[in-house]
Chain A
Amino acid sequence: MVPLNHYLILSAAIFAIGVVGVVIRRNLIVVLMSIELMLNAVNLTFIAFSRFLGSMEGQVIVFFVMAVAAAEAVVGLAIIISVFRHRQTLDPQEMQLLKW
């Protein structure tokens, strides 16, 4: 039986990889995909705990995380499309109008 720690370390690794993606990539779509990767790492943690503690609530939470992630991906992509229409670029460095 695989101990719980291994699942947690795996999801920590995937979460860190997602953070790298958000920080270093200069393409808004890849940033959004890295956010989805982070959400999935968290889902994996929830399911691992749900199995090891015997509670169904972990799986219910993952259900809701998936629904929220779907809504967020939809709205995020719509925002990306309208931003692209205005600026013709997907580079987050070009969208610094609010920076002082």
Chain B
Amino acid sequence: MIIFYVLAALLILTSLMVVFQRNVVHCAMALVAALFLIAILFVTLQAPMVGVLQILVYAGAIMVLFLFVIMLLNPTSLEPRRALSWGFGTVVALLLAGALAALVSHDEAPADPFAATELFGAPESLAKSLFTDFVLPFEIASVLLLIAIVGAVVLAKREHN
């Protein structure tokens, strides 16, 4: 119970750091922390397989890629804080958050969460769903990743002229 509120507070703090820090590398590290916290939230929500995949894929690979690109492009200048647009953006965000929160709050929420079996969220159930019901999206996702690899290599190659 308390774990959720602590994690939620930390998560909002790190997300704000991602958006409002001026040094890009600090933003990236704050995002890594946010992803790690979300993975912990997944584990508390009885999705351990997805949680560990989040750390493996998102925090462990995608963010390393981000850091590589940041180090490659070497941005040494700090972005200036523009009070007007940042203040305006914050107000819009608060309005958006308020609207979304009002939309998702309803009194007739399911009071008792589904009593999960032991295999809920376990690798066996996820694998079973992936290989029987969702095998076509699975194969398409692998082709998509191949296309992304080829596209990235082609885009990022230096031109030899």
Identify the A interface with B (CB < 8 A): 1-10, 12-21, 23-27, 29-30, 32-34, 36-37, 40, 43-44, 47-48, 50-54, 56-57, 59-60, 62-64, 66-75, 77-82, 84-85, 90
Find out whether the CB atom of B141 lies under 8 angstroms from the CB atom of A64.
Answer: yes
The residue that B141 contacts in the complex, of A16, A54, A67, A75, with Cβ under 8 A, is A67
A60 to B53, CA, bound (A): 12
Instruction: Evaluate contact between A60 and B126: CB separation under 8 angstroms.
Output: yes
Chain B contact residues, majority secondary structure: helix
Question: Cβ of B94: which chain A residues have Cβ within 8 Å of it?
Answer: 16
Contacts of A25 in B (CB 8 A): 19, 79
Using Cβ atoms and an 8 Å threshold, which residues of chain B touch A84? Answer: 73
Cβ of B126 and Cβ of A68 under 8 Å apart?
no
Q: A64-B137, A68-B141 are in contact. List 14 more A-B contacts (CB 8 A).
A: A5-B105, A14-B11, A14-B12, A16-B100, A17-B93, A24-B86, A29-B27, A29-B73, A33-B18, A44-B41, A52-B113, A57-B129, A60-B126, A73-B66
CA of A94 to CA of B120 in the docked complex: distance in angstroms? 49
Q: Which residues of B contact A77 (CB under 8 A)?
A: 65-66, 69, 152
A–B pairs, 29, beta carbons within 8 Å: A4-B109, A5-B105, A10-B8, A12-B103, A18-B19, A19-B93, A24-B82, A24-B88, A36-B58, A37-B31, A37-B34, A40-B58, A43-B42, A51-B114, A51-B116, A53-B114, A56-B120, A59-B129, A60-B129, A62-B50, A67-B145, A68-B144, A74-B152, A75-B151, A77-B66, A77-B152, A78-B152, A78-B156, A90-B75
The 8 closest A-B pairs by CB, nearest first: A54-B114, A71-B148, A12-B100, A24-B89, A16-B97, A78-B155, A8-B104, A21-B19
Closest Cβ of chain B to A37, distance in Å, is 6
Task: Find out whether the CB atom of A33 lies under 8 angstroms from the CB atom of B100.
Answer: no
Contact check, A74 vs B15: say whether CB atoms are below 8 A apart. no
Beta-carbon contact of B97 and A81 below 8 Å: no
CB neighbours (8 Å) of B12 from chain A are 10, 13-14, 17
B114 to A20, Cβ gap below 8 A? no
Considering only residues 122-158 of chain B, those with a C-beta below 8 Å from chain A are 125-126, 129-130, 133-134, 137, 141, 144-145, 147-149, 151-153, 155-156, 158
Complex Cα–Cα for A90 and B74 (A): 11
Q: A8-B104, A12-B104 are in contact. Are A20 and B66 (CB under 8 A)?
A: no
B19 touches A70 (CB 8 A): no
Bound form: Cα–Cα A13–B19 in Å: 13
